[in-house]
Amino acid sequence: MKINPNIQKLIPEITSWRHQIHAWPETAFEEKRTSEFVAEKLTSFGLKVHTGLAKTGVIGTLQKGSPDKPAVGLRADMDGLDILEENDLPYRSENPGKMHACGHDGHTAMLLGAAKHLSQCDEFNGTVHFIFQPAEENEGGAGVMVREGLFEKFPVQAVFGLHNFPMLPLGYFAIAPGPMMAAFDIFDIHIKGRGGHAAMPQQARDPILAASYLISQFQSIVSRNLEPIEGSVISVTQINGGTAYNIIPDDVCLKGTTRHFQSHIQDAIEARMREIVDGVSKSMDVTVDFSYERRYPAVINNLDKTQAAINAAKLTAGDEKVISNLPPIMGSEDFAFLLQKVPGAYMGLGAGVPEDGGMLHQSRYNFNDALLPVGVTYWESLVKSLLPVND
């Protein structure tokens, strides 16, 4: 892998940015310090800076050559997670109970590095909007930015995202043309029965038994109601109810998530869940309140932009380190909201499985700094190929 010497010179500084951001993790729409840091750096690079979109979002605009040439958007996420960090690092989290456990500190640092490097060269012709997004984790900050006029204020012909993947070897790139990451929905269920003594269940209306029927019947949706080749998942992830060995409780609460790639599958899952809830409610003589919320759409990569991302990755790492047919992933990403509005592509960058086992969303995760020059080089290659000086 050949790294531009001008990028290599920036790596110590970019690394220090990453460590600073890691030390002050901020969660959804509270990324004030991070946002101010990003805006200050972009301003110092000579970019035009816009703040306040989706509360803490930052957009830096860099234009070189002709102003009537195309524009592209490059996105990094800035938020952390509600996790207590267990790493023994000189730059470990200073905010107890919060940490950068998904690498957004690295994503932000890489895009800042690309902004500084590209601001110092004249090897592209067009406009780049560097999009620093809040609230990727669970709260859909990308969707808020879109609704608040991101692409009306900063029109682009394409938008690109990059995320570290610890499950891939270090320095490898991976992407899927078309569907890459699943849509993400959540559900909440409150079952209201009638409690009683566990030794006399005939006098109660058991919400725990009703909950068990719901859970087992939900699993039949994927296995018996949907096409076997259609990827989907229904997972009940929380069960709360009961206080003692010998008491049937009055109520039980269930929570969970569904994942899918196509809207007709999403519709079918929600409709069938509602039918099952209604049937169990009647057959078990309990009251069931069911709510279903559609959170993130599926990440669907545009085929042409996927090829552009693949080409940039090959320029960065070589053909043998680019996986261009990654199987779709059931995890989710709110970059999907950007792709609903503008054609683009979302790329994974291999971070290598860490020795201590710290993976994404775990308390011992730490972004691999070896990725910093790789990510900056990828952004450079992408911009130069999409906005060539001789076009």
Question: What domains are there in the chain, each with its CATH number?
Answer: 5-180+298-386 (3.40.630.10), 183-296 (3.30.70.360)
Instruction: Taking residues 56-80, report their average pLDDT.
Output: 96
Query: Model pTM?
Result: 0.94
Which positions are catalytic?
79, 136
Task: Give yes or no for residue 342 having a pLDDT over 90.
Answer: yes
Task: Write the pLDDT tens digit of every residue in 351-365.
Answer: 997 766 679 999 999
The answer to whether 330 and 182 have CB atoms below 8 angstroms apart is yes
Q: In the structure encoding, which two tokens stand for residue 210, read together?
A: 């009703």
Mean pLDDT of the chain: 96
CB 343 within 8 A of CB 158: yes
- Mean pLDDT across 34-51: 98
| pLDDT for residue 104 is more than 90 | yes
Q: Are strands 173-174 and 322-323 parallel, antiparallel or unpaired?
A: parallel
* pLDDT value at 13 more than 70: yes
Question: Taking residues 50-69, what's their average pLDDT?
Answer: 95
